Structure 1
Amino acid sequence: MTAGFDAQDQAEIFRGTASGVTSLKDAKSFDGTDTRAIPAFVFGEELADIADRDERVVVLTADLARSNRAGDFAERHPGRFYNLGIAEKNMVTAAAGLASTGLVPFAATFASFSALLCYEQIRTDCAYPKMPVRVVGHHAGMSMGFYGTSHHALEDLGILRTMADLTVVCATDANHLRALLRLSMDRPGAMYIRLGRGRDPEVYPEVPELEIGRAVRLREGADLTIIATGTEVRPSLDAAEALAADGIAARVVDMHTIAPLDREEVVAAARETGAVLTVEEHNVTGGLGTAVAETLLESGAPRVPFRRHGVPDEYVPVGPPAALYAHYRLDAAGIAAVAREVLG
């Protein structure tokens, strides 16, 4: 098993320090951020802290303990850690079995595998019997840019938000993830926790007080509302700063819970601001943007200009994540430009 961890260690690749691939680096790093400014991946560390005081916590992974930092948990709680090998479906079913005994299992692997490969197991073994399994999908979206379509997860929100009795949340940064993991301990039923690269730029300088199903309004503005989730919250805030320089006041909302959606915050955006723009590292079909559009239509909210912004309905090319974000205008400059189009 240990050899499997070593074989799957991608940390150097994501930091841009691995030998033999430096020619693929962009001007900053693999993800466009100075690696010295990237926060630590706190998943394993935070769960180990929770496990110190809650004996229900167990962690499972599919041979990715280094990539998702579950190894940090294993070092402190080896008897409560399980490496299922490259058998993701078995991992989710095993987690459901553990949950049936009163434990709270966290089953972690790449989002492309957890959400897409394990849909049936999440539905039949976890959500339907209301098992408290926390399926953790890390490196979601196109953050594994070099690995291609098989490792991209741009459909997971659209797929999983249609599943009954499944809570779907997106972590914004390290402190936000800490808050979600703590909240998950007493959340009934199954959950899907979506992460980006696990080292995403800071939005919350401290662990925030959150409520699952309740969005966080991070910035006020009356000209339009940018409703973002997960990895797109930080660039949306940066885009709002750029818009402010042009005299445009943009409200920014962190819609961290996709299911159940905070419908009140969506309606307030239409009633109180001049336009609504959703931003997500996900296919524009089916995800956050579609959920917001459904809410706007069904709630009787005022009709305002509205646009879903994300990855168009296509398979993204292979390349550095930073280049992909720029290509699809999911960086700060791109989001600001799309906002101007909506207002124009």
Structure 2
Amino acid sequence: MSDVKKIATRESYGNALAELGKAHDEVVVLDADLAAATKTGVFKKAFPERHIDCGIAECNMMGVAAGLAAAGKVPFASSFAMFAAGRAFEQVRNSIGYPKLNVKIGATHAGISVGEDGATHQCNEDIALMRTIPGMVVINPSDDIEAKAAVQAAYEHAGPVYMRFGRLAVPVINDKPEYKFELGKGVVLREGKDITIIATGLPVANCLEAAEKLAADGVDAKVINIHTIKPLDEELVVAAAKETGKVVTVEEHSIIGGLGSAVCDVLSAKAPTQVMKIGINDTYGESGPAVELVKKYGLDADSIYEKVKSFL
């Protein structure tokens, strides 16, 4: 897919915020001394009076965001996923989630594709953390188009939303007239009858490529993009499992507590199905080029293809 247009979803986040700011005066963006990296600097340039740099104080930033929401503003609090979900978990839980405040959290640099920053910054636990907060919507877009749509949907949703964005440029796969983003609804990218591949975020494009490789071997794989992990599209997941009989989940996140766990929770209750989870195993990441890390941790198209074949 080297000839396909690629854009990092953190870039999409910054551009979407700037567009949102033009239409809505109540939108305020907060950052924790990372405006250049999270791309909220795009909003800051356009609306400096509505951008607040809270410094390297993520916990305080979430408190400020909560106060702004209580005062009628729509704050987008932004930082790396490790800091937004990890360091500030207590404040997100108690100051935003508990009172059900209308705060949107833009978490960039998620997963191992952070690359050379290494294990301390490669947050593979954020989806699991955010899923546990009652009422928190969790979105993990797969490309530029979906990321921009996610920001708009987050604004329109009344209540707390966690959005996950990446540092590595990924292929644009949703540039189709029929594409529609709807919170809590998965998207069938490829029909198939032999096995279902359910993916989220960065690996979605790689899953489509893996499905093409499987097709060459006579395996008809259904590919579903789950951009909203909470609330999960349970109806689509159950229907696909019943249709194909086997399910593979793929995510740039720990296999504990993320998309795979959400899918297994639903299927164990409503349609017991054999599931293989592909993601980061019970381990930390490491420093290295993002593309090489994606390959080493088994999230590239070839690795997904091989794992699905072995599962069959």
Aligned partners of 1:42 and 1:198 also within 8 Å: no
Residue identity opposite 1:255 in structure 2: I
Paired position in structure 2 for 1:319: 288
Residue identity opposite 1:305 in structure 2: Q
Measured in 1, the distance between the counterparts of 2:96 and 2:45 equals 27
1:140–1:126 CA distance, 2 compared to 1 (3 A) = same
Once the two structures are superposed, residues 303-343 of structure 1 have per-residue CA deviations (whole angstroms, 9 ceiling, x without a partner) of 44311110110112221121111112100001111110111
Paired position in structure 2 for 1:264: 235
Measured in 2, the distance between the counterparts of 1:168 and 1:298 equals 21
Measured in 2, the distance between the counterparts of 1:34 and 1:209 equals 25
Measured in 2, the distance between the counterparts of 1:59 and 1:198 equals 23
Aligned partners of 2:267 and 2:273 also within 8 Å: no
Residue identity opposite 1:50 in structure 2: L
Moved over 2 A (4+): 33-40
Aligned ranges for residues 275-290 of structure 1 at < 5 Å?
Answer: 275-290=246-261
1:93–1:65 CA distance, 2 compared to 1 (3 A) = same
Aligned partners of 2:142 and 2:201 also within 8 Å: yes
Measured in 1, the distance between the counterparts of 2:2 and 2:82 equals 26
Aligned partners of 1:145 and 1:321 also within 8 Å: yes
Q: Give unpaired runs (5+ residues) of structure 2.
A: none
Deviation at 1:132, TM superposition (A): 0.9
Aligned partners of 2:237 and 2:263 also within 8 Å: yes
Aligned ranges for residues 243-258 of structure 1 at < 5 Å?
Answer: 243-258=214-229
Residue 148 (1) aligns with residue 127 (2): no
Cα RMSD after superposing both structures: 1.7
User: Normalised by the size of structure 2, how large is the TM-score?
Assistant: 0.95
Aligned partners of 1:174 and 1:198 also within 8 Å: no
Deviation at 1:35, TM superposition (A): 11
Residue identity opposite 1:39 in structure 2: I
Measured in 2, the distance between the counterparts of 1:171 and 1:114 equals 17
Q: What SS does the aligned partner of 2:171 have? A: coil
Residue 336 (1) aligns with residue 285 (2): no
Q: What SS does the aligned partner of 1:222 have? A: coil
Measured in 2, the distance between the counterparts of 1:308 and 1:76 equals 42
Deviation at 1:200, TM superposition (A): 2.0
2:63 maps to which of 71, 93, 97: 93
Higher relative contact order (CA 8 A, sep 6+): 2
Measured in 1, the distance between the counterparts of 2:4 and 2:77 equals 29
Measured in 1, the distance between the counterparts of 2:291 and 2:107 equals 20
User: Normalised by the size of structure 1, how large is the TM-score?
Assistant: 0.86
Aligned partners of 1:133 and 1:189 also within 8 Å: yes
Q: What SS does the aligned partner of 1:214 have? A: coil
Paired position in structure 1 for 2:278: 309
The percent identity for this pair of structures is 42
Deviation at 1:144, TM superposition (A): 1.7
Residue 110 (1) aligns with residue 80 (2): yes
Q: Give unpaired runs (5+ residues) of structure 1.
A: 1-32
Deviation at 1:249, TM superposition (A): 0.7
Aligned partners of 1:175 and 1:206 also within 8 Å: no
Q: What SS does the aligned partner of 1:279 have? A: strand
Deviation at 1:206, TM superposition (A): 5.1
Across the two proteins, how many residue pairs are aligned to each other?
A: 309
2:35 maps to which of 31, 51, 65: 65
Q: What SS does the aligned partner of 1:230 have? A: coil
Paired position in structure 1 for 2:13: 43
Paired position in structure 2 for 1:126: 96
1:174–1:198 CA distance, 2 compared to 1 (3 A) = farther
Q: What SS does the aligned partner of 2:37 have? A: coil
